[in-house]
Amino acid sequence: MKKRRWLTAGITAAALLTVGYGPHEMVQEPEKSVVISLAGDCSLGNLSIHGYEGTFREMYDRHGPGYFFQNVKSVFEADDMTLVNFEGVLTNSNHLVKKAFNIKGKPEYIQILPEAGIEAVSFGNNHRIDYGEQGIADTLAAFASIQLPYACNEVTGLYETEDGVKVGFVSVSVVDNGRGVEPFLQDGIARLRQEEGADVVLACCHWGPESVYYPDDYQRELGHRCIDWGADLVVGCHPHVLQGVEAYQGKYIIYSLGNFCFGANRNPKDKNTMIAQVKFTVKEKKDEKSVTGDMTLIPCTISSVEHRNDYCPTLAEGERKADIIQRLNTYSAGMGVVIEADGRVREQGQESEAAE
C-alpha cells in the first residue's frame, strides 16, 4: 500500500496569518502536499507485425503482470500517485485500422498497472485508434474493471489520495488533432478547477516530432498556454526520446518523458528515459489556493539489458545516470532550469540546496 502524505507547515513567517489576532496570536495557513510520479509512453502489447519471440506478449506469458515494472515499483509505491501515458489498446479485436503501426495487448494486461502501483493514465495519443471504436471501447472497459482514472479530450481524470488531495488531469493528442486540442485543454483545466475542486491540475500533451530531442515551436507555445490556462504542470510524450524541461511562470513544462515500458519496439536505439517526481505543496488562504512544485528527475533505462528491449524499465546508476542528467541539461539549455547531479530541478538564479 502506498505511503500517503498530508503535511503541515512549520511555523514560519511565510506561513502565518495575523489578520484579526493580537500581537502574539497567529494562525497557520492550511497546507497539504502530494507526491506524484510521472512516466512516459507505455504500450502494454506489441505491434501487429511482430511475431512471438522476443515480444511483450512472450514476456507476459513467461513472467506474468508483476514482471514489467519490478525495477521501478519501489519508486511508484513510495509516492501518492503514479501516472503514465497509455499508448495503444487492450482488445481481442483483429480489425485494425490501416496505418504503419498498430499496437495492442490483451485485455488481461490491465493487471500490470495496479501490480506496479500505477493509479492513473493519460489516454490522448495517436495509437488509441489502432483497432477502431472496438479497440477504444475494450480498453475503456479494461480501465473500468480496475476503476482506473483516465483522461482523453473532453473526458478529464480525477484521482483523490487517501488523504483527500484531488489531482485532476487532462490529456490530448496534438499528433492527431493539431490546434484543435486547445479547447479540450482550456475547458478541461477550468472544469477541474471550478467544478471538480482539483487541488493540482496536470496537462498531458502527446506532441512533437519523433526522435527529436528539442521541442518545436508549437510545443513551447502550447505548453505556455496550458500554464496560462491554470495547469500546475505540463507533461509531454510522443517523441520516443527525452526532451528538456522549461520553467515558465513559476511552473514546469516537461516536453517529453520518452518511452517507458514500451512493447511496440523490440530494440530502440535510444533506451534513456526517466521518472519525473514532483512534490506539490498546496496552500489555502480564504478562497484562494497557491500551488508550488518541487521536481526531481530520476534517470532510467527502458530495459534492464542494453542489447534488446526486455520491457523492464530500470533505474539508471553511476555513469549512465550522470550521462542522462548531463543530456537533460543540454536539452533544457535556454529554458530557465538547472538539473542537479541528484536530479533535483531548480530555476536558474535559485541557489542550489547543495550550496546552502
Least Cα distance to 269 among 317, 213, 319, 226 occurs for 213
Contact 157, 150 (CB under 8 A): yes
pTM exceeds cut of 0.85: yes
CATH number at residue 177: 3.60.21
What is the Cα–Cα distance from 87 to 257, expressed in whole angstroms? 13
Instruction: Give me the pLDDT at residue 193, please.
Output: 96
Range of the domain at 185: 13-355
Instruction: Give me the pLDDT at residue 150, please.
Output: 98
Asked if residue 189 belongs to a domain, the reply is yes
Domains of the chain: total: 1
What is residue 62's three-state secondary structure? helix
Largest CA distance in the chain: 75
Instruction: Give me the pLDDT at residue 28, please.
Output: 55
What is the Cα–Cα distance from 208 to 249, expressed in whole angstroms? 22
Instruction: Give me the pLDDT at residue 60, please.
Output: 98
Question: Mean pLDDT per 10-residue run, the chain (356 residues)?
Answer: 35 29 50 96 96 96 98 98 98 96 98 98 97 98 98 98 94 97 98 97 98 98 98 98 98 98 97 98 86 97 98 98 98 98 92 55
Residue with cell 513551447: 220
What is the Cα–Cα distance from 14 to 17, expressed in whole angstroms? 9
Asked if residue 276 belongs to a domain, the reply is yes
Least Cα distance to 215 among 229, 201, 226, 200 occurs for 226
Could you tell me how far CA 131 lies from the centroid of its own chain? 24
Asked if residue 6 belongs to a domain, the reply is no
Instruction: Give me the pLDDT at residue 7, please.
Output: 29
Asked if residue 305 belongs to a domain, the reply is yes
| Virtual torsion, Cα 121, 122, 123, 127, nearest 10 deg | -100
What is the Cα–Cα distance from 141 to 308, expressed in whole angstroms? 32
Asked if residue 3 belongs to a domain, the reply is no
The sign of the CA dihedral 308, 313, 315, 316 is: positive
Asked if residue 230 belongs to a domain, the reply is yes
Asked if residue 5 belongs to a domain, the reply is no
Asked if residue 338 belongs to a domain, the reply is yes
Report the Cα–Cα distance between both ends of the chain, in Å, rounded.
35
Instruction: Give me the pLDDT at residue 356, please.
Output: 46
Instruction: Give me the pLDDT at residue 235, please.
Output: 98
Contact 309, 265 (CB under 8 A): yes
Contact 107, 138 (CB under 8 A): yes
Return the amino acid letter for 314. Answer: T
